[in-house]
Chain A
Amino acid sequence: MALSSLPSGLIRAICSSVPVRRFDNLSETTAFDPAEVDKVVKMAGVRTRHIAPGNICSSDLCVAAARRVLEKLQWAPNSIDALIFVTQSPDYLLPSTSCLAHRDLELSDHCAAFDVGLGCSGYPYALWLATMMLSGGGLKRVLVLHGETPSRFADRSDRAVALLFGDAGSATALEANPAKEASTWGFNLHTDGNGWKDLIIEGGGFRDRMPEDTRKLCVAMNGANVFNFTIKRVPSLVEETLRSFATPQESIDYFVLHQSNLFIMKHLAKKMQIPEVKLPYTIQRFGSTGGPSIPLTITQGGLTRPANRPLKMMLVGYGVGLSWGSALVDLGPEAILDHVEVG
């Protein structure tokens, strides 16, 4: 069972990023009937989303966020010990996007850098990795970059996805906790590979390098299976996390969910009996941006932060894989939250 309780790290800063170009689904969509668009917007909740132009990729979005983080924290690039880049929309099949970010940020050659190929569940996984690296000794500072450009792989003729996806990046700066009696963070991670086909881009990889049917280069989603996966797995994940780490629901300030679809998130909230005030939403403004929607919601979700104690959050990612996971972490009052637009 992938349940781990680790000595907490310190989240020093989180910066999210989106492309400057903002697309209004209601006023700018021309490919579909306005009544249809209206219905999709009402259900999925996506009124506007930010779309990356051809020259902006996941690395660009994340590097912009990381530069802001390093500048605000006054961290020298050569003080970063490791960089984790989470993406399923890499700039290239190879090299790793982490190496591109490493170059752009001018990090030292003593810095470990690697990619994690996870989607909507990627943020809890990356925080788990970073926390293990920091608590294992030796490493002091880790950057977690998580960026996606899902608007690039959406089939524009499919209204179910064409209006849903926005692009976003993020940078999270973590530091080893010097406190001898550090609190703990909890992580609960799951996988069900049997659902590998429920969210898939079939072409472009090495199993089907150049598909004849170019729609295979776009994401295909079995909506019913993904919906059932979500309503079955997410409530039990949340319940199991609270129980396993002996954390009463009331003690959590915010449950920050991957922003998949407003209708589904509201259904989950009802099912989990979580008060709406504890579930911030940003999907209306940014669309579904994949895993980066979690850090994006932390910076842009209007979270109220107490001045005298850390904010306790459960971060919940779920989706492609199928993969899902939670991170029970806290965010100190001194942590910097920021947001940049790129392009």
Chain B
Amino acid sequence: MTEAEAIKWFADLFGLPASSLSAKTTRTEIPTWDSLGVLTLMAALDETFNLVVDDATMRSLQGVGDVLELLRKNGKLA
């Protein structure tokens, strides 16, 4: 998956247009990224990338860039 595709995937997850997001978008700028959003993201990471992410890692994700970095570290991003 490319970075642009990953941003589109993330945007779909949170019901946002992909054009409104970039690697610099922070969690506070995404109102739907709340505690329920965290659960949605965890399920999607498992479903799409077979990635099970622990509590500490989830807490460390503070923006779209962190999610992209997580995917990159796990070899899911081209």
Q: Which residues of B contact A1 (CB under 8 A)?
A: none
State the main secondary structure of chain A at its contact with B: helix
Interface string of B37-66 (1 = CB under 8 A from A): 011101100110000111100100000000
Question: Whose C-beta in chain B lies nearest to the C-beta of A43?
Answer: B36
* A270 pairs with B42, CB closer than 8 A: no
CA distance in complex: A267, B46 (Å) = 9
Chain B CB within 8 A of A244 CB: no
CB distance from A336 to the nearest CB of B (A): 38
The segment out of A53-61, A218-226, A249-257 that lies at the interface is A218-226
Asked if B39 and A231 make an inter-chain contact with CB atoms under 8 angstroms apart, the answer reads no
Given A225-B55, A228-B52, A232-B52, answer yes or no on A43-B39 (Cβ-Cβ < 8 Å): yes
Q: At the interface, yes or no: B35 with Cβ under 8 Å from chain A?
A: yes
Contact (Cβ within 8 A) A270 B39: no
- Chain B residues whose C-beta falls within 8 Å of the C-beta of A222 in the assembled complex: 55
CB-CB under 8 A for A223 and B47, given A228-B42, A232-B52: no
Count the A residues whose beta carbon is within 8 Å of the partner chain — how many? 17
**Which of A160, A224, A271 interacts with B42 by CB under 8 Å?**
A224
Task: Given A224-B58, A271-B47, verify A231-B38 contact (CB < 8 Å).
Answer: no
B58 to chain A, nearest CB (A): 5
A267–B40 alpha-carbon span in the complex (Å)? 10
Contact of A271 among B38, B46, B53, B58 (CB under 8 A): B46
Which residues between 248 and 293 of chain A lie within 8 Å of chain B, taking CB atoms?
Answer: 263-264, 267, 270-271
**Bound form: Cα–Cα A264–B46 in Å:** 12
Which one of A39, A227, A263, A270 has the greatest number of beta carbons of chain B within 10 Å?
A227
Q: Assuming A224-B58, A225-B55, A231-B52, is B38 touching A267 (CB within 8 A)?
A: no
20 A–B pairs (Cβ distance < 8 Å), ordered by A? A39-B36, A43-B39, A222-B55, A223-B35, A223-B38, A224-B42, A224-B55, A225-B54, A225-B55, A227-B42, A227-B43, A228-B42, A228-B53, A228-B55, A231-B43, A231-B52, A232-B52, A264-B43, A267-B46, A270-B47
| A-binding residues in B (CB < 8 A) | 35-36, 38-40, 42-43, 46-47, 52-55, 58
